[in-house]
Amino acid sequence: NPERSIPPFISRLTNITDAMVRDAPRFAEIAPEVRRLLAGRVFVAHNVAFDWRFVSHELERATGEPCEGPRLCTVRLARRLVPEVSSRSLGSLSEFFGIENEARHRALGDAKATVELLGRLFERLDEHEVESWEALDAFLSRSPSRRRRRRANPRSIERV
């Protein structure tokens, strides 16, 4: 329960209405469990900065304690591992890998699709001999190999 009205744009995008969340728990009620689940784990999301901003802000607001921890962005990982697609959106990558998402723009549907995408990206990561968090961080921090690129078609420019 967000404790405020859901904006019309969000309701159209997600098909979530105020009535659907009216009896749901407030974030403060579940914050200790969310913090416990995140402790010692990597927070993974497609465009992790966007989701982390909400989760960490709400956790700090509910508990009074800042939230820290390692994060992994599947958009960033896809940029390095899936050069053959022009868009790294969750929808585009799901289509590319044949991942079904019956609840697009809803937390559970997008989370399940992101888990499946992460598995596909990890399969591609195997060829780069990345076997630890430190190695993954180094892989993502390195500049991508410089290849001569063809001039981009304006309609295929990456939008993430």
The one catalytic residue in 46, 57, 105, 128 is 105
C-alpha span between 152 and 116 (Å, rounded): 29
46: annotated active-site residue: no
Which residue reads 């499946």 in tokens?
A: 116
Beta strands in the chain (DSSP E): 43-45, 71-73
DSSP state of 155: G
What one-letter code names the amino acid at 156?
S
Bridge partners of 44, per DSSP, are 72
Residues identified as active-site: 105
